[in-house]
Every structure is written in structure tokens, then in C-alpha cells.
Structure 1
Amino acid sequence: MAQKIITVYTDDLTGESAEEVQTHTFSLNGVNYEIDLTSDNYDKLFEALAPFIDGGRKIGRTKSAATSRKVSNTGPSADEIRSWARQNNYQVNDRGRVPAHIREAYQQAH
């Protein structure tokens, strides 16, 4: 039996489905938040926070945040998928989320 898995990326603010949706994290009053946004909505978030970011001080990332990212990523890295995609004549950007159709092609090939 063949199985096809389709991943749909959805903007948490609008419910819009798009390949360009990326996950962003931010923190306020010791509470960490994560939100999936299209680039337009990320720009709105960044513009809204910009005065506070400019006036604030960076304190760096915590070890637990870096560790949790490493632990939760059980699949291939974006760099591995990009390398495979280029070898297989897919056009892929050097940065940002790897498009869903390329991730699916990678999964089907492996």
C-alpha cells in the first residue's frame, strides 16, 4: 500500500495556508510563545514590537531553548534537504523554511 503524507502550513493569525509560513518565538514576562506566520504577518509583528526591541536589552538565548530545538528535530536538517534538492534539480533558497513540496519529494526519495 502506498501512503502520501501532505503537510499544510497555516498562519496562526489568519488561518491562511501557505508554503512560506514560518515558526517564530518570542517571550514576554517569562512566558515563551511560538507562532506560525506568513512573512506579511511576521512583518506586522516585527513592526509592532520594533520600538520595544530598540529600547530593550538583549539577554541572549537560554540553554533550554537551544536544547529543546535540537531534541525536537528528529528528521533531516534543512541543509540536508536543500543539498538533496539542488542535486535533484529543485530550486531552493539558502534561508527560510524549505517548501513543503520539496520536503515531500525528499521524504518520498528516502
Structure 2
Amino acid sequence: MRMLRWICGVTRRDEIRNAVIRGTVGVTEILDKIQKSRLRWYGHVMRYEQYIGRRVMEMEVQEMRRRGRPKRRWMDCIKDDLRSKGLTGDEVWDRGRWKKLPKNIEPT
């Protein structure tokens, strides 16, 4: 973010929010980019039949009982991403449609 402030010629004393600077420069948030690449990788994994990662995803693992909060897994993130985009996960089989769906409006 410091680089964007430098590009715009804005200092911290100007008290301009990061969202405003991102809008002027035309850059999306990093979380959106991460979500996009995670969904793209999920599409690759699901469509490739012989991929070991897909077989591992479909395995049932006996969980040990732990104290505290459960660990956040990759599939938990994928489920949240699909829910936020309004997708069910069945769209992954139509590659042309899937390629267009997870994209964000991304100027750069």
C-alpha cells in the first residue's frame, strides 16, 4: 500500500483511505486476487481425474479430538469462496463457464 501512496503522491498526513487510493489507481484488493487464484486452482484439481490431490480431497480421514478451535483447511476456504460468489461447485465441470465465473473486475 505504501507503493500506491507513493505513486499517487499522497502522504499519511493527507488521511485518505486505502480504498480511495485503490480506486484512483485501479487496483483490486489482495484478498480478491487470492480468492480468484484459489478458485482457479480448485477448478484444475476437480477437473483432473488422475490428480493425487483430488483423491486426497475425497478421502475420509479419522479426526482426533482436539481442544479449542478447529484448524482452518483449504476446503473450508473454498466453501466460503463458493458461497460468497453464489456458486454451488457444480459449475466447475463446464470449463468455459467456470473460467469466467471466479474472475473479479480487475483492472490490473
Regarding TM over 0.5, the answer is no
Q: TM-score, normalised by structure 1?
A: 0.27
Structure number with the higher strand fraction is 1
TM-score, with structure 2 as normaliser: 0.27
Bigger helix fraction? 2
The structure number with the bigger radius of gyration is: 2
Greater RCO between the two (CA within 8 Å, min separation 6)?
Answer: 2
